[in-house]
A = this chain, B = another copy of it.
Amino acid sequence: MAGSIYGNIFKISTWGESHGKALGVTIDGCPAGLELSEEYIQSFLNRRKPGQNKYQTPRKESDRVEILSGVFEGVTTGTPISLIVYNQDQHSKDYGNLAECYRPGHADYCFDKKYGIRDYRGGGRSSGRETIGRVAAGAIATKILNELGIEIKAYVKSIGPHVINYNNFNFDSIANNSVSMPDEECAKKAEKYLDSLINSNDSTGSCVECIINNMPIGIGEPVFNKLDAMLSHGIMSIGAVKAIEIGDGVNASTSVGSINNDPFRIKDDKVIKTTNHAGGILGGMSDGSQIVLRAHFKPTPSIFSPQDTIDKYNNEVNISIRGRHDPIIGPRAVVVVESMCAITILDLLMLNANSKMDNLAKIYK
């Protein structure tokens, strides 16, 4: 399974299965001289921790992170940072009945065909717990970006048919509801919707929006490693994401040029754009305005209703999934989306350090 390493300069290598001993990540290429503590990383992991409200799996995991290397006297040394989280509350027995059959909407069938073997306990490497490594690494990337003035904020924009109203937008309120929505009114409706789905043993899709402020201009490499292409790679690599939009996204395909083009103007001696249909990215590079992107998550595939499927002997069977599962993915994925954005942007920022002779001269002359 090539594919558990991400990034070109700021490289992260994640590992671990849902029901194995532990999960973790190693970050290679983190600059030296960054203050870093376990508490700081923990604060990010706590945001994705299960069991925090009734819309989340009751699996109890403290998800306590430990720094094993790369930090000396509270500061990064430039050597690889190894982070580990031990698994605790595993109910592997819940999955015994899944050893031989393929859950619809899950990776089970593909795993068996690709590798000829599969750790069937809890989704193995395709479990939501795989994101622990992303978030732990994302915490570090976020800290570096913050020190350079860049801010990343994600939130749930919609749950099923319930979409936030930007007139009610209050980012800080996402901590006040159990669905990470920045619109209290919408959050309440969404919670009711979730209650009804839980009652009917069903689940729902959702949309997470992410905004990034204070981006330097010119981040992203034209052609194949455009900022939007790299962000799409990172975001689409999160389990259950089925679409990614930048700026106006799918609506750009029904717009016209005279509207979609964002005019440049000068305001207070600064370059601004009077609109931001582009979502802050032009020609694959950041244009200095706010970056806006959306990730669309499919409904949690683990539902408790009986479902048609097959087993590994090609028998048609009907399964009822047990175990502990969220009825929605978006709210707990908010911090994962932020993390993938942070890692991706930091990596491109580091690459961009070599874009012109002037930059090299700043460092070596």
Contact = CB atoms under 8 A, between A and B. Distances in A.
Contact of A32 (B203, B263, B305, B356): B356
A235 B146 CA distance: 30
A265 B310 contact: yes
A58 interface: no
Interface string A64-86: 00101110100111111110100
A68 B260 contact: no
A80 B364 CA distance: 24
A186 interface: no
Interface stretch (A46-54, A173-181, A242-250): A242-250
A279 interface: yes
A206 interface: yes
A213 interface: no
Given A9-B2, A114-B285, A264 B309 contact: yes
A206 B75 contact: no
Among A34, A108, A224, A226, max chain B CB count under 10 A is at: A224
| Count of this chain's copies in the oligomeric assembly | 4
A14 interface: yes
Given A253-B158, A297-B252, A357-B144, A223 B1 contact: yes
Contacts of A360: 31, 144, 148, 349-350, 353
Query: For chain A, what secondary structure do more than half of its interface residues adopt (helix, strand, loop), or is it mixed?
Result: mixed
Nearest to A365: B148
A33 to B, nearest CB: 4
Interface in A261-300: 261-266, 269, 271, 274, 277-279, 282-288, 296-300
Contact of A252 (B75, B225, B296): B296
B246 A243 contact: yes
Interface in A154-203: 158, 160-161, 197, 201-203
Nearest to A330: B253
A303 B13 contact: no
Nearest to A206: B253
A351 interface: yes
Nearest to A16: B69
Nearest to A267: B316
Contact of A282 (B106, B222, B229, B248): B106
A356 B283 contact: no
Given A2-B9, A264-B104, A253 B357 contact: no
A249 B296 contact: yes
B16 A253 contact: no
B224 A229 contact: no
A216 interface: yes
A204 interface: yes
B262 A237 contact: no
Contacts of A362: 362-363
A258 B198 CA distance: 12
A113 to B, nearest CB: 4
Contacts of A284: 107, 126, 237, 239
26 contacts: A4-B223, A9-B351, A10-B354, A14-B80, A14-B223, A15-B26, A24-B68, A33-B357, A78-B355, A79-B124, A105-B278, A105-B282, A111-B218, A113-B217, A113-B218, A158-B254, A204-B257, A207-B250, A232-B232, A242-B253, A253-B297, A257-B299, A261-B307, A263-B309, A265-B310, A349-B360
